[in-house]
Structures are given as C-alpha cells and as structure tokens.
Amino acid sequence: MKKLGGAVMLAAALMAASSTAALASTDVLKVKPRTVNFGPTPVGMVTSKSTTLTNTSSNTIDLTINVTKDWDDFSFGFLPASTCPTFEPAPLGPGESCVFVVRFWPSEQFLGLKQDQRFLAAATDPLTGEVLDSDTFVFLGLAA
C-alpha cells in the first residue's frame, strides 16, 4: 500500500509540474496596445497607426496574424514601417518585437459608423506547430 501511495503522489507531482509548465508557455506573446483608436476621421483622409507584438519567451516562435473582422475602410500588410508578418507565419526571436501597421481611410459608405477591425495573433512552436499563445487586438475608427 505504501508503494501505491508513493506512486500516486509521484504521479500527482508530475502532473502538477507539467500543468505548471503548460501554463508558463501561454505567456509568450505581448500585444501593446491591444486597442488602437483612430477616433473620428474625415472621409477621404488617410491615417496610419500601429501596435507592437513582442515574443516574451526564451525561444523563437512563429508569429501569425489573421484578420477576424474586416471592414473596407481599413488596410494592412506591406505598409511602410510594418515589420510583422502578414498572410504567412514568420519567425520572431526571443525578446524580439515587430510593428503591425494598419491604415484607416474612411469612406462615405460608412459615414457615422463605428468600425472595429479585429485581429488574432498566434505564437506557434516552429518545430511542432503547437499553438503556444494567442491574443486579439483591435483598431477602431469612425468615418466623420
């Protein structure tokens, strides 16, 4: 019975340690700021703003950014000063950051509407493809 009790305690300790490691791996990606507000912007005026994504882990990750809610008045990808990957995963080293730029160009079609362009950033293990962490961020705009 003592051997069985010891085995159960060892198994419980290993499970606790592995779940602690799993929890630690979820704090891999930092997005700052998570909300970027263009505020009221005159129709036809082009404005760009950005957010910064940082790999806070001690390992290289693959970073992927996908749009989850898309409005015609916003654009992103291959914009000046944008260093984050767009459309394809790309490596981001330990402690490295990238800048994600979004452009807001309000049109009369959406005059007076609050628009929320939403994104999902995912950090994955480059070897296994396992998702280590993910975070959402949003760009807000109002065609004025």
Residue 71 belongs to domain with CATH number: 2.60.40.10
The confidence band for 19, taking pLDDT boundaries of 50, 70 and 90, is very low
Report DSSP state, residue 34: S
Domains contained in the chain, number: 1
- 8 is a domain residue: no
- Note the pLDDT tens digit of each residue in 59-86: 999 999 999 999 999 999 889 999 999 8
Can you say how many angstroms the Cα of residue 122 is from the centroid of all Cα atoms in its chain? Answer: 6
- 50 is a domain residue: yes
- Note the pLDDT tens digit of each residue in 89-117: 999 999 999 999 999 999 999 999 999 99
Transcribe 47-96 into DSSP letters: EEEEEEEEE-SSS-EEEEEEEEE--TTEEESS-TT--S--SS-EEE-TT-
Rounded CA separation 84/117 (Å): 17
- 9 is a domain residue: no
pTM of the model: 0.80
Structural domain harbouring 95? 28-143
- Note the pLDDT tens digit of each residue in 50-59: 999 999 999 9
